[in-house]
Every structure is written in C-alpha cells, then in structure tokens.
Amino acid sequence: MPTITVNNADIYYEDSAPNDHQKPVIVFAHGLLWSGRMYDKQVEHFKKDYRCITFDFRGQGQSQITKDGYDMDNLTKDTIGLLDALDIDKCHFVGLSMGGFVAQRIAIHHPERLLSLSLLETSADAEDPKNVPQYRKLMKAIRWLGMKRVSQKVMPIMFGSTFLQAKERKADRKAWLSMLQSNRKGGTVKATTGVIDRKGVYEQLGSIQTPTLIIVGDEDAATPYDKSERIHFAIDGSKLAVIKGAGHTSTVEEPEQVNRVLGEFLDKIEGWY
C-alpha cells in the first residue's frame, strides 16, 4: 500500500505512472468524506496521456488519522510535501470542494508549482455561519451514532436529485453509500471540523495568474452556482463550466461531462507550454 510520510502524517496515494517522468502530471484532491476514489473515472480517462496522482487527506480514506493538523493551511502543507516527496516540480491540479479549498491556497502561495488550476464544486469563502450549527449537529451525531446511522442524511448533500433518483444508477448509489459509511469516526470528525473552521481566501484570489477552470454542477446544493461564479469573477481569465444533472460530486455523477470539459481545458493549456 503506497504511503509517504509528509508533515508528520502517513499519506496514502496512487500514481498511474510512477516511473514515467515524461508525461505531464495531474494531481487530484478529493472532497470531504471521500477519498481519491472519487476520481476513478478521471484517472481512467486521462492516464493514457497524463501521469495521474490521487491521494487521501489525513484522517480520510486510507491515510493516517493524526491528533491534529486538519486546518486548510496544514492540509496545503501536506499536499506540497507530497509533491516534493514524489519529485513533482509542476502539475495540473484538480481540487473538488475541500480539495478546492487546498487548491486555491496552493495557487495563492505556491503558484510556481502549478501548470493549471481546476476548481470543482468549491468556495473561496469561510463556511456560511447559517450552515455551521447544522454541521456541528452532524458531527455530534457521527461521534455518538457512527457514520452508518447518518449516511442517508449526507447523501442528498453530496449528490444531486438526478443521480439519487435514476433507477439505472442504483448500483452506483449503493457503492458510494457504502464508501460513505466506511469513513472512520475519528478522522471524519477532525476533517469536518477543519472544513467548518476554515478561513476564506476570496480577497486573495486576484493574485492568481495560473490558468483556471471552475466547474459546478447545476444541482449542487452544498456549494451552489453563485459560489463558483464569485470565484470566476475574482480570477482574471478563468473559465466557468456548468455540469448538467450533477450535484456536489460531479466526477462521480457525470464523469463524461467532467472529463470532456477538463480535457478541453487541459488541451489548451498543454498548447501553451
């Protein structure tokens, strides 16, 4: 099982071409309560032309649950540490939701590490104060009842109605519900706390000069369209794409649309270098 110790945490990662130093690199950063598995369809699609790297943030997926270090700035240090350990100088970086919080910080503080920036279903602001009590209540339920008992309430936050209601996606829903239920209690609570308590970076977005793509599902209830539009207007020259029939986990719900939009963006970027 490939793990690298960075910033005092054992981080699990997967590398589609560890010995290929010619292909351009795409690094994928996942959202809260998931793992690098949420990019399975993207890795499958892009690995022919790119070296694709997924990893699990500390406390999530198969990475170590540490005592602390779950704030977004520290997760950014983890990510830069992983790039250093894998000897990756520059990469295309894709971040969804929480992964997007980290991606924005990399673009602001470590722009020299990026060839491009793709932000999916994310926000540049601190957590809306109106949502915090709900999330605190959810964490309390997870702490006392476990993830399995609350997972059905989380599914409509993570997925749009099209995915949740489609009869032909029943097997997919079952698989992702099972993955959600497999979250470890301690790591989930710590990671969720890091997301709830995060600081906004909106005021710093104007400094980003990295070519940027912003993607949002038209059924995303967790970070709706206006959050993405706000980022789009703040980052000069950025592109904004809407994925039809997708909620907060578009890479799973509508992978073909995401792959097409991301692929077209990357093709243009590759032409610049």
Interhelix angle 147-158/170-181, rounded to 10 degrees, is 130
Per-residue pLDDT of the chain (273 residues; tens, 9 = 90+): 699 999 999 999 999 999 999 999 999 999 999 999 999 999 999 999 999 999 999 999 999 999 999 999 999 999 999 999 999 999 999 999 999 999 999 999 999 999 999 999 999 999 988 888 888 888 888 888 878 888 888 999 999 999 999 999 999 999 999 999 999 989 999 999 999 999 999 999 999 999 999 999 999 999 999 999 999 999 999 999 999 999 999 999 999 999 999 999 999 987 665
Residues in the chain: 273
Spatial distance between the Cα atoms of 7 and 137, rounded to a whole number of angstroms: 30
Interhelix angle 185-196/98-109, rounded to 10 degrees, is 50
Residue 46, CA distances (Å) to 95, 113, 123, 260 in order: 16, 20, 25, 10
> Which domains, ranges and CATH numbers included, belong to the chain?
3-272 (3.40.50.1820)
Interhelix angle 98-109/72-85, rounded to 10 degrees, is 70
CB 10 within 8 A of CB 64: yes
pTM of structure: 0.97
Counting beta carbons within 10 angstroms of the beta carbon of residue 177, is it exposed (0 to 12), middle (13 to 18) or buried (19 or more)? middle
Q: Per DSSP, which regions of 39-176 are E strands? A: 51-55, 91-96, 114-120
